[in-house]
Structure 1
Amino acid sequence: MPLSLTLPLTAASLAYLNAKTGFSNDWALLSAYIAAHISLHRRASQNTLNLFYDLETHALHRTHSQHPFLIYTGKSWSYGEAYGEVLRWAAWLKDVKGVGNGEVVGLCMLNSDTFVWVWFALWSLGATPAFLNYNLRGAPLVHSVRASGARLVLVDEEVTASFAGEVEKELEGVEVVFVGQEVQGEVQGMRGWRERDEKRGGLQIRDLAVLIYTSGTTGLPKPAIVSWQKARVGAALVARWLPLKKDDIFYTAMPLYHSSAAILGLVSCLMAGTTLSLGRRFSHATFWPEVRATKATAIQYVGETCRYLLAGPPSSLDKQHSVRFAFGNGMRPDVWERFQRRFGIDTVAEFYAATEGPGGLFNKSRNAFSRGAVGRNGTIMYPWFALQMVIARLDFETNKLLRDEKTGLCIPAAWDEPGELLFRLDAKDVESKFQGYFRNRDASSSKIVRDVRRKGDAYFSSGDVMRWDREGRWWFCDRIGDTYRWKSENVSTAEVGECLGRHEAVSEANVYGVLVPGHDGRAGCAATLLNGAEEEKSLELSEKVLRSLAEHAMSTLPRYAVPIFLRVTRQMEMTGTNKQQKHILREQGCDPEKVEQVGDKLYWLKGGTYVPFGKKDWDEITAGRVKL
């Protein structure tokens, strides 16, 4: 056969085999994973696990010291300049505040250059930063500080009010320092100090590197232990898997108190020797202008970030940027393709993980095949995923794992069947992969499931409902507790929300189950933000819009999954990382008085359309005269 035919046929065959086996996808992930662990153990053998050494290596390099490390509010710092700032803050923390090796120090700060300098200064002293959520107020804030054991908390001037009044009284004995111009001036007058290596030495890979808190949406926030192993492997894996190149500029406006921006954002950039472009906080008005101004080649998202970017008015500048990929977690399937198309984003690199969790899933998507999936594997990685993870069947009424009556073991879910995602642990040494929550043994133990595949084994409970299909795609369904049961059927809030999110009138939908007097299970309710000027003026919707929404839901969803109630709101309750809040909505339920008290409007499905739902209708239901 002539060469002119052989080469194209060979290329086509290889492309087919790659598509069939997912080889390139698996190899990118596997090679990154192996390289990350090799790097971890090399650092451990060199006694340089502390990530301060990575900054120092770049800063003292003959040429790379001049490479930009951080861009913030139009100013840029090279690795060398960043190192100088870190050492000045280290001198202030040591000499003025007496911070020493092994101490935990709280940081309650918005994104800024100062946040980064203080963070690495603490590491340089052998101390541990505890990242406090600056959105917290009252009891949750007090609890977060106390749970860390910190005697010193550095606070951004913008959140000064949060530490006044009762919080100040409750934190008696804790020194709270507001970092304003006076402190900044004091620090700039300091001569940089590099602590001796022995103050940072002797670390083990599972030792505490940083405390990062859970969101606290269903209770008080818990400080998750992020070990040096977790920080290093997670960041190195992401840096190699994406991959981040030295000339890349990685933009994030996600909060640094969260692991996505801190570990998988900033630390990944540090390990790749690339540049981080940092936004103070997420805002649709500043996101793309900052991306363009800093010539960012990568952007980070969390939760509903991309939906909010889509909600902004179209612009001729939408594709005028240098971004080659978007990286993050929690992008909804109904947003994914529209976001790529509108903003000209070639690749979406989605991941799934929990700050305290022992593993994760990754999906680098350029086409429709894996669009919307939180993870993906091919033939090579299948045995690894099958060994390290299991999706176990759930009783969606009790939210407990189903077990075989004879063996007492969990029952694996079938292909494409929703169940809880569990990660395998070493039954004899659980802490080798899961260090749990700081000084909270009970909470840590509650995340461990025993007797899953065999007697005595141990798994980490993710708390998430997932499904895995035969093509190696992993799909997020819901948080456990978000899936509700209605008409003897399980309803996925994520599936319903995705459906409603595709309607032209809907900007965002947050779906949850509500208790209805005289009815078993929970009825579906969708808190909805709508597009359009008419809806912005009033929550009274036109009959046309209401009927269109009902017809869309009924034609797309199973009958039992169509939301009975529609709650129209002007503002969606969110976490600081752009994830939807549900627990307050569930508590208010479908009682029109409670809903209208906060300024929202309630409708219900009747006669093939949504119509206003008021006190008279509620009384009819509670009296048992109406059956849904």
Structure 2
Amino acid sequence: MAALPIPLPLAVPAAAASLAYLNARFAFSYDWYLLSTYITGTINSLFGEYRDNTNLFYVLEDHALHRTSSNNAFLIHNGRQWTYRQAYDTVLKYGTWLKNEQGVKSGEIVAIDFMNSDVFIWIWLGLWSIGAKPALINYNLTGKPLLHTVKTSTACLLLVDVEVRKKFSDDVMAELASADFRGEGKGAIRVIFVDRELEAKIEAGEGIREPDEARAGQKLQDMAMLIYTSGTTGMPKPAIVSWSKATVGGRFVAGWLPLKKTDVLYTCMPLYHTSASILGLCSTLRAGSTLALGRRFSNSTFWPEVLASGATTIQYVGETCRYLLAAPPSPRDTQHKVRLAIGNGLRPDVWNTFKTRFNIPIICEFYGATEGPSAIWNRSVNDFSAGAVGRNGSIATMLLGSSLTIVRMDPDSDPPVPLRDAATGLCQVADWNEPGELLYKLDPANIERKFQGYLGNSTATRSKILRDVRKKGDAWFSTGDMLRWDREGRWWFVDRIGDTFRWKAENVSTAEVSDVVGTHDAVREANVYGVLVPGHDGRAGCAAVVLDESASPKKDGADEKADALALPSQSVLRSLAAHCTSNLPRFAVPLFLRLTKQMHTTGTNKHQKHFFQQEGIDVEKIEASGDKMYWLRGDVYEPFNLAQLQEIRGGQVKL
């Protein structure tokens, strides 16, 4: 008997429901958006290389000279606005000054030590306009780190924001002026402090467009600029940022978010960092949209600047979102036009709280490194991928799966190294949901195509290349980070390899412990690390915490210093201990607690651990800094002082 045909009114909804199910199950539409944006950006960048206009100066020029975009806003900063045409004319003036007055030649590197400003951008793009390259210096650096960073840039000219002048002590200036500063008989470096008078002089001058020959011959793998690593594990290293990252990265983000010409992206993250420079400036430049630039992050200026600029997109890095949540609620929290936030480092414990309080429907989280060959991305519109640093659907996993992998690490090695198969010598690939180091595949015959390394530091460059991973002779970029990948295609950050510590023969992830500690109502901020304990193997967990003001009893004594560290009540210490012991394995519960008023952070609001790690449980040093130590005794954190430390040293206490 022939089957009866399904009536059309029933068939269409059934088919639609099936397609919706398949799309939800395999994330076809999500992957299409991700892959098509990446492929389009890559193809367009390859065409740009073929046409010899890889330099992003040409993108600015195209917008500035086109009748439909020349009057569009390019930059909003400090209450002023510049159109694409105005920006282009200004950039030409700075380029002319750099070439004619300072003798900068095509291909040369010029160091820029500036806070966020319009002039920073004019100098940067002015260098590109004459075929030169900027080295972006962290304006927070002083002393030896500053000298090291400038020296390794190989620049012969250093331009400094007059507001950063105080970082340049007499000793630093004397070293910069030394005849052997640049080595090999190259002499001193010229330092120019760019003040308002000089800016006015440059902008009153003539802007001459250099012929295309000044910018010719640039390939995608060639250097566009130098951006430095954070220096948290040593001196900052000059990472070579290629035109590929500046162009493909900018195109990808502009299309992936997406950014329209009417969009305004607000960032107060420092331009010397990849997030603000590549994903902020280069992306808005590619899209022909507007960059609203804050001078630096401040809770008091963030939302007022967002509102004043009409921003539709905001950028965050590290603990930025946590700091915004720490401010008292205000009506302006939801009076903005922001439709999405993009950044990296939004921790799972504040992800949804941030979205809800500030009414931001989309979070675009990414994971990557300045020097890394690629990145992973998560455009999160619901709880499914909340907290993940990346997400791939079935198609993306199939197409991109061979270009990255997670390998198991040897828990007993110091420093940790990948585990290898005894028979083959190849790395052991981690299972689903198993933490391991994330690696990106490189071309062993042409490493520089994807990884250009660190300028003048072949040793550091080689240290990031891992060979014989999945087959003999292959090459992979070592991220130095532990991640895990689940069967739903979500990538989860676990920890920096150096931050994971071993206690009671178990590996402890500081990031995962921080997430748990940070969800306690009394904790405003948590930073977990391992500390050496006399007479004990491994490292015990210690949580540096900033407590909410409500967690401490009110001060009664009139002689109490206003800036003294407020100590928590007994009930808070007991509650925090119960929270940790009930939500963490026993070996991962922080045995020590360090109360502090403020965390050590980088210029991009990322936690730094090494200051805390250096002091360990040395009570005298800790209390001299104004902090207070506690340790877990039974079901409560109790004060930890020199007497208890001496007991541990004397072998009277076993943890």
TM-score normalized by structure 2?
0.95
In structure 1, what residue type is equivalent to 2:356? R
Query: What does 1:56-75 align with in structure 2 at a 5 Å threshold?
Result: 56-75=61-80
Q: 1:537 to 1:163 in 2, by over 3 A?
A: closer
Structure 2 counterpart of 1:569, from 596, 603, 611: 596
Query: Partner of 1:430 in structure 2?
Result: 447
Query: In structure 2, what is the Cα distance between the partners aligned to 1:580 and 1:397?
Result: 26
Structure 2 counterpart of 1:330, from 330, 335, 345: 345
Query: Partner of 2:92 in structure 1?
Result: 87
Deviations along 1:194-220, one digit per CA (max 9) or x if unpaired, are 111101111111111000000000100
The alignment partner of 2:217 has SS state of coil
Structure 2 counterpart of 1:320, from 335, 342, 345: 335
Query: Partner of 1:220 in structure 2?
Result: 235
Query: In structure 1, what is the Cα distance between the partners aligned to 2:292 and 2:197?
Result: 26
Equivalent residues of 1:539, 1:568 under 8 A apart: no
Equivalent residues of 2:501, 2:538 under 8 A apart: yes
Query: In structure 2, what is the Cα distance between the partners aligned to 1:87 and 1:303?
Result: 35
Deviation at 1:16, TM superposition (A): 1.0
Query: In structure 1, what is the Cα distance between the partners aligned to 2:551 and 2:40?
Result: 55
Structure 1 counterpart of 2:203, from 180, 185, 188: 188
Query: Partner of 2:266 in structure 1?
Result: 251
Structure 1 counterpart of 2:518, from 501, 512, 515: 501
Query: Partner of 2:556 in structure 1?
Result: none
Equivalent residues of 2:427, 2:469 under 8 A apart: yes
* Alignment partner of 1:109 is 2:125: no
* Alignment partner of 1:304 is 2:319: yes
Deviation at 1:189, TM superposition (A): 1.9
The alignment partner of 1:59 has SS state of helix
Deviations along 1:527-584, one digit per CA (max 9) or x if unpaired, are 0011125648633221011001100001111111100000000010000011000111
Percent of pairs with identical residues: 58
Query: Partner of 1:524 in structure 2?
Result: 541
* Alignment partner of 1:275 is 2:286: no
The alignment partner of 1:210 has SS state of strand
Query: In structure 2, what is the Cα distance between the partners aligned to 1:341 and 1:486?
Result: 37
Query: In structure 2, what is the Cα distance between the partners aligned to 1:147 and 1:357?
Result: 20
In structure 2, what residue type is equivalent to 1:105? V
* Alignment partner of 1:389 is 2:409: no
Query: Partner of 2:466 in structure 1?
Result: 449
Query: What does 1:343-358 align with in structure 2 at a 5 Å threshold?
Result: 343-358=358-373
Equivalent residues of 2:94, 2:202 under 8 A apart: yes
Query: In structure 2, what is the Cα distance between the partners aligned to 1:92 and 1:408?
Result: 57
The alignment partner of 1:25 has SS state of helix
Equivalent residues of 1:539, 1:600 under 8 A apart: no
Q: 1:534 to 1:375 in 2, by over 3 A?
A: closer
Q: 1:4 to 1:291 in 2, by over 3 A?
A: farther
The alignment partner of 2:334 has SS state of coil
Query: Partner of 2:185 in structure 1?
Result: none
* Alignment partner of 1:462 is 2:489: no
Equivalent residues of 1:396, 1:483 under 8 A apart: no
In structure 2, what residue type is equivalent to 1:421? L
* Alignment partner of 1:607 is 2:607: no
* Alignment partner of 1:202 is 2:207: no
Deviation at 1:394, TM superposition (A): 0.4
Equivalent residues of 2:108, 2:133 under 8 A apart: yes
* Alignment partner of 1:152 is 2:169: no
Query: In structure 1, what is the Cα distance between the partners aligned to 2:529 and 2:543?
Result: 7
The CA RMSD measured in Å over matched residues stands at 1.1
Equivalent residues of 1:300, 1:327 under 8 A apart: yes
Equivalent residues of 1:397, 1:484 under 8 A apart: no
Structure 1 counterpart of 2:395, from 380, 386, 392: 380
Deviation at 1:253, TM superposition (A): 0.5
Query: Partner of 1:512 in structure 2?
Result: 529
Query: In structure 2, what is the Cα distance between the partners aligned to 1:266 and 1:14?
Result: 38
The alignment partner of 2:383 has SS state of coil
The alignment partner of 2:270 has SS state of coil
Equivalent residues of 1:217, 1:583 under 8 A apart: yes
Deviation at 1:480, TM superposition (A): 0.7
Deviations along 1:423-450, one digit per CA (max 9) or x if unpaired, are 1001111111100001111110000001
* Alignment partner of 1:131 is 2:136: yes
Query: In structure 1, what is the Cα distance between the partners aligned to 2:516 and 2:131?
Result: 50
Query: In structure 2, what is the Cα distance between the partners aligned to 1:385 and 1:472?
Result: 12
Query: Partner of 1:143 in structure 2?
Result: 148
Q: 1:237 to 1:165 in 2, by over 3 A?
A: same
Query: In structure 1, what is the Cα distance between the partners aligned to 2:630 and 2:143?
Result: 34
Query: Partner of 1:264 in structure 2?
Result: 279
Deviation at 1:193, TM superposition (A): 1.4
In structure 2, what residue type is equivalent to 1:196? P
Query: In structure 1, what is the Cα distance between the partners aligned to 2:351 and 2:8?
Result: 42
Query: In structure 2, what is the Cα distance between the partners aligned to 1:577 and 1:46?
Result: 36
Query: In structure 1, what is the Cα distance between the partners aligned to 2:617 and 2:420?
Result: 34
Query: In structure 1, what is the Cα distance between the partners aligned to 2:262 and 2:255?
Result: 14
Query: In structure 2, what is the Cα distance between the partners aligned to 1:116 and 1:566?
Result: 43
Deviation at 1:165, TM superposition (A): 1.5
Structure 1 counterpart of 2:579, from 521, 528, 552: 552
* Alignment partner of 1:492 is 2:509: yes
Deviations along 1:397-422, one digit per CA (max 9) or x if unpaired, are 32111111111110001110100001
In structure 2, what residue type is equivalent to 1:116? I
Query: What does 1:2-13 align with in structure 2 at a 5 Å threshold?
Result: 4-13=9-18
Query: In structure 1, what is the Cα distance between the partners aligned to 2:122 and 2:379?
Result: 32
* Alignment partner of 1:592 is 2:619: yes
Equivalent residues of 1:84, 1:192 under 8 A apart: yes
The alignment partner of 1:400 has SS state of coil
Give the count of matched residue pairs: 628
Deviation at 1:181, TM superposition (A): 1.4
Equivalent residues of 2:565, 2:597 under 8 A apart: no
